[in-house]
Amino acid sequence: MAAKHILAVDQGTTSTRAIVFDNSGRPIASAQKELPQIFPKPGWVEHDPEEIWRATVEVCRGALEKAKLEPGALAGIGITNQRETTVVWDRVTGKPVHNAIVWQDRRTADLCDELRAAGHEPMLSRRTGLLLDPYFCGTKIAWILKNVAGARVAAEKGALAAGTIESFLLWRLSGGKVHASDATNASRTLLLDIRKGKWDPDLATLLGVPLAMLPRVVNCAGELGVTTPDILGAPVPVLGMAGDQQAATVGQACTKPGMVKATYGTGCFAVLNTGSLAVQSSHRLLTTIAYQLDGRRTYALEGSIFVAGAAVQWLRDGLGLIKQSGEIEAMARNAKDGHGVYMVPAFVGLGAPYWDAGARGALLGLTRDTGPAEIAAATLDSVCYQTRDLIEAMRGDGAEIEEIRVDGGMVVNDPLMQRLADTVGTPVQRPKVIETTALGAAFLAGLHAGLWTSLDSLAETWMLDRAFTPAENAPSRDRRYTGWQNAVKRVRST
């Protein structure tokens, strides 16, 4: 059988999935397993790396079984992952020395404040494109080295390896033979000079991270490693890797400067392709690597919203207002017009463009006739308002945005997508394949395997499912947005 399929591993914040794609970019089988969250303290979020590894093997085998394919039918594997989530492990045993510290985790806020007070943020931002925030990996590694007994000494001896989830999975898949990270994930560490594409010794010294811990930085497509035969029954090459938001950018075929995609999952992440130019934002957006192919880097401006779908999960698990996440649409439909309720979902602080790790969530504008429907509607509206925050920042940095391509689990909600178009004042386009994160990983692997010949050929596979055009007048949308801005001011820590 000709190897014309790609197995995409999508290791996310709340689940681990594997999807088999054919050479037209069509998903033909998938398997998924939920990932338990660990909350040791308020503001702390962890995952068990061993659970991630077990789930990855299980869903890869499950997807192949559902597709009725042998491993020989695979041209290769593509990996995409929750970015910034950080693992440190022993190079001999492969065992993590601590739970993975998740991207949402806030435990290093004090260290970030210290570094900022010492005047280091301008230099860090200039070299990495990032801001000083607990979101990124560098301070997470520093925390592990400081707080895990023996970790500092072991790291300085070269006995420990550090990496993001794709790096950890590649290590395990290759039987410990490959310690590498693709350029997109590396660009989220606070340790990479994104213009040089190399680890920065000054930054490593500043954060106290030995360079010997760090993986080799590689392209997003290439001969990245080979799985050991016991995992799938035969060796399979790993040919593509990218962080989830960059993978979604490729999956949405946003391969030309000026194109924007927004992914709605646990959080929301809007990415604007800026081509070969690494634009330094004046509106507190991040400059990041969109993808690196054949040593050439394409850059992007990104806005990160920490809580989108996670707010719906809170209504379900925290308040018990709904039994299943999909019920929120029907509940929100019964909200009173002009209810004036605002939900600011700053459960783990606020991301772009505020970058306020000390902010906390709030429900504002409550009256005696506020009920579950209004709270549900305000929760969905918060996703739209936060997206407008990001788009306004991009426009402030000079972008002319004609449309937003959307993906992720939340975009199947038609009323929410219409509300998004109305709130932002920009057409919203939903593709037929909304699992674009996994699709992007498959595309990257398929590019190296020869299933697709170029980024332009990927663009030809993109198909529109539905477009949502703004229907609300500008004064109304602006009035609602002003209310949101006032609500955010109420929860800011500074």
Instruction: Give one DSSP letter per residue of 191-239, joined into a string.
Output: -EETTTTEE-HHHHHHHT--GGGSPEEE-SEEEEEE--HHHHSS--EEE
* Crossing angle (nearest 10°) for helices 109-117 and 137-147: 110
DSSP class of residue 318 equals I
Residues contacting 320, CB < 8 A, separation 6+:
none
pTM of the model: 0.88
The pLDDT tens digits of the residues spanning 80-93 come to 999 999 999 999 99
- Closest to 347 measured CA to CA, from 362, 332, 331: 362
Q: Which residues of the chain have pLDDT under 70?
A: 1-2
pLDDT value of residue 218: 97
Cα(128)–Cα(107) distance, rounded to whole angstroms?
21
* Nearest-angstrom CA–CA distance, 468 and 344: 25
Cα 325 to Cα 314: distance, rounded to the nearest angstrom: 10
What pLDDT sits at residue 1? 47
Bridge partners of 182?
218
d(CA 7, CA 9) in angstroms, rounded, equals 7
Residue 357: the pLDDT is 81
Q: Give the pLDDT confidence score for residue 2 in this predicted structure.
A: 63
For the stretch 38-68, what's the b/e string if a residue is b when 16 or more beta carbons lie within 10 angstroms of its beta carbon? Answer: eeeeebbbbbebebbbebbbebbbbbbeebe
- Provide the token pair at 51: 């659970």
Q: Distance (Å, rounded) from C-alpha 378 to C-alpha 264? A: 16
Structure confidence at residue 205 (pLDDT): 96
Report the pLDDT value the prediction gives residue 198, as an integer from 0 to 100: 96
pLDDT at 53 (0 to 100): 98
**pLDDT of amino acid 456:** 83
